[in-house]
Amino acid sequence: MVAYTILSGLLFGLYFSLMAIGLNLIFGVMRMVNLAHGDFIMLGAFAAFFAYTLWNMNPLVTMLVVFFLFIILGGALYYLVVPRLLRAHDPEMLSLILFFGLSQIIQALAVIAFGNNQRSIDYTALGSGTVYLFGQGFEESWVVVASVSLLAIILVSIYLYVTKLGVATRAVMSHREEAASAGISVHRVSAYAMGIGLALAAIAGVFSPFMIGSIDPTMGTDLTTTSFAIIIIGSLGNPIGTIVGGMIYGLSLMYMESYQPSWSSLVPYLLLFIILLLKPSGLLGRRMRNA
Amino acid sequence: MSQALSTCGLSSGYGPLQILWDIDFVAKSAETLVLLGSNGAGKTTFLKTLVGLIRPLSGEITCLEKRVETWSADRRIRMGISYMSELGVVPSLSIAENLALGGYFQPNAARKTQLNAMYDRFPDLAARKRTLAGSLSGGQRKMLGIAKALMSKPAILLLDEPSAGLSPLYVTQMIELLRGLKEESVTMIIAEQNTKFLELADRVSVMENGRLSFQGNVEDLTQDDTLRHAYFGIH
């Protein structure tokens, strides 16, 4: 039981890391909390549902389509909203209100478009077998989703730490004005980050029917809270810290689901509370030397 | 000498707060111009407006014979301006990454060549390529800031308080480094409070309360009683 709990916690931890990493990327670059993050996960989930139901499209194919569509959507949303916000007196506060409003609009439109009913995808769409890891059997779909999540996280890390645009992205995260004074177009870098952040949220949404269960248009609110807890645990503004946050969240959730299932919904709030009390900068938060 | 950078009636500030008032300024090609002024005089705002980090409220900026006041910072930097802020580096990036950032617009081959040139010029940086800039001492950080600013092979280099936070030894090193750049005919505008930098100056401008109160050479400055008292502490 302990081995199963730990391994399933790690599998789900990878998925939760994928779910939250986009939120952290956007916060890191723009210093704005995208309160509609969970709603983009919901849109990805419905894209997977309709693609599978109408065209029998494999969710892995849907993931690729959704990824590119949401990069474009994110870039467009950035240029539509953020430059105006940045000209405001208190852009961070205003962004909270604006993205909350966007969340409500997306949910309302989704209810109109998809109805209020809960939907689910045949769980065998990502494989019907059982995969054995260290002697423990797991649903094939969990292992596929965890593997894709791991690959996505590795690709995000390569983007941030190896590519020229990624180094520019980290420069903007660290010191916006210093990056601009090196000739980096902060708006262009931020638009890419917004696009990639929303695309990562949407592909997490594609896999949510296999990891979270049935989907509905209002599921986004809880997912935003969960994602926010994960990035606070790792380190707000540090996308790689999200992996630590996701793992801790996954392990805690699986532990509670195994031993105290009725308490499991408290996990994100409890972890958020504990981390904010003990290490407000997150587990990977660090300071720079000043002298 | 042709004009490298000039302003005409330049006013600038942060949102509704006006900091600079009607600045007429000229820096000629290959000239080293020291901009003196106390804290809050508007030196940093002036440099940031020149490089495009702050949009001017009114007035003209001409750089390398082009009107640039409406241009974005990245466009101005691509045309040959480089700016070292008081911080100078991105603290969470390594030395190598900071240098790569400085040469962001260059083609890969040119960037590598320039990177090697910087490592030759600053061997201390070459020995610690993977070290985070935020963990460097103040002096090392300034050296990295200069190297980062030079990565784009600028025609015009704007330096904001290069001596801030440095020990006297590092200040001397910094002056020698800038003297080397002066010999390479880089146009430099150095915003400073430290009058030691006047030994580099072809001309001096003094900024007070967001206005240029003096422009001339060092000898003229020392003959002005008020300025001599303010900056050299002598009567």
Neighbours of B150 (CB within 10 A): 24
Whether the Cβ atoms of residue B56 and residue B108 lie closer than 8 Å to each other = no
Q: What is the pLDDT of residue A277?
A: 87
Q: What is the pLDDT of residue B169?
A: 84
Chain B 6-35, residues with CB within 8 Å of chain A CB atoms: 15
- What is the amino acid identity at position B35? L
Euclidean distance between CA atoms A221 and A224, whole angstroms: 5
List chain B residues with CB under 8 Å of A170.
90, 92-93, 97
**Residue contacts between A and B (CB atoms, under 8 Å):** 73
Confidence (pTM): 0.88
> For residue A154, how many C-alpha atoms fall within 13 Å in the half-sphere facing its CB?
6
- DSSP letter string over A21-75? HHHHHHHHHH----TTHHHHHHHHHHHHHHHHHHH---HHHHHHHHHHHHHHHHH
Question: Using one digit for the tens of pLDDT, what is the confidence trace for A154-212?
Answer: 999 999 999 999 999 999 999 999 999 998 999 999 999 999 999 999 999 999 999 99
Task: Using the predicted structure, report yes or no on whether residue A287 has a pLDDT greater than 60.
Answer: no
- DSSP letter string over A212-226? T--B-TTTHHHHHHH
Whether the Cβ atoms of residue A237 and residue A245 lie closer than 8 Å to each other = no
The CATH label, of 3.40.50.80, 3.90.110.10, 3.40.50.300, 3.40.30.10, for the domain at B3-88+156-232 is 3.40.50.300
Whether the Cβ atoms of residue A26 and residue A34 lie closer than 8 Å to each other = yes
**Ramachandran angles phi, psi of A132, nearest 5°:** -100, 125
Smallest CA-to-CA distance from A27 within A19, A37, A18 is with: A37
Residue B167 sits at the chain A interface (C-beta within 8 Å): no
- Coil vs helix vs strand at A83: helix
Euclidean distance between CA atoms B124 and B122, whole angstroms: 5
Question: Using one digit for the tens of pLDDT, what is the confidence trace for B57-104?
Answer: 999 999 999 999 999 999 999 999 999 999 999 999 999 999 999 999
Q: What is the pLDDT of residue A290?
A: 36
Split at pLDDT 50, 70, 90, the class of A123 is confident
Question: Using one digit for the tens of pLDDT, what is the confidence trace for B150-203?
Answer: 999 999 999 999 988 888 888 898 899 999 999 998 999 999 988 889 999 999
Euclidean distance between CA atoms B234 and B227, whole angstroms: 9
Euclidean distance between CA atoms B174 and A158, whole angstroms: 36
Task: Using the predicted structure, report yes or no on whether residue B50 has a pLDDT greater than 70.
Answer: yes
Mean pLDDT of A69-81: 96
Q: What is the pLDDT of residue B1?
A: 65
CA distances (Å), origin B191, targets A75, A167, B40, B59, B207: 38, 29, 12, 21, 10
How does DSSP classify residue A2?
H
Whether the Cβ atoms of residue B49 and residue B4 lie closer than 8 Å to each other = no
The token pair that represents A186 in the structure block: 């902060």
Euclidean distance between CA atoms A204 and B45, whole angstroms: 44
Largest separation between any pair of C-alpha atoms in chain B: 55
Residue A180 sits at the chain B interface (C-beta within 8 Å): yes
**Ramachandran angles phi, psi of B24, nearest 5°:** -110, 120
| Residue B21 buriedness (CB in 10 A; 0-12 / 13-18 / 19+) | middle
State which residue of chain B sits closest to A286, comparing Cα positions: B92
List chain A residues with CB under 8 Å of B85.
177-178, 181
State which residue of chain A sits closest to B150, comparing Cα positions: A182
Question: Using one digit for the tens of pLDDT, what is the confidence trace for B207-228?
Answer: 999 999 888 888 888 777 666 6
The domain ranges of chain A are: 17-219
| Residue A268 buriedness (CB in 10 A; 0-12 / 13-18 / 19+) | buried
List chain A residues with CB under 8 Å of B132.
288
Percent of chain A with pLDDT over 90: 66
The domain ranges of chain B are: 3-88+156-232
List chain A residues with CB under 8 Å of B97.
167, 170-171
| B73/A178 Cβ within 8 A | no
| B53 CA: distance to closest CA in chain A (Å) | 7
Counting other chains too, the contacts that A261-269 makes at CB distance below 8 Å and 24 or more residues apart are A268/A225, A268/A226, A268/A229, A268/A230, A269/A225, A269/A229
Split at pLDDT 50, 70, 90, the class of B232 is low
CA distances (Å), origin A23, targets A32, A87, A162, A195, B80: 9, 22, 21, 11, 36
List chain A residues with CB under 8 Å of B72.
185
How does DSSP classify residue A186?
H
Q: What is the pLDDT of residue A88?
A: 80
Split at pLDDT 50, 70, 90, the class of A152 is very high
Q: What is the pLDDT of residue A289?
A: 36
Percent of chain B with pLDDT over 90: 67
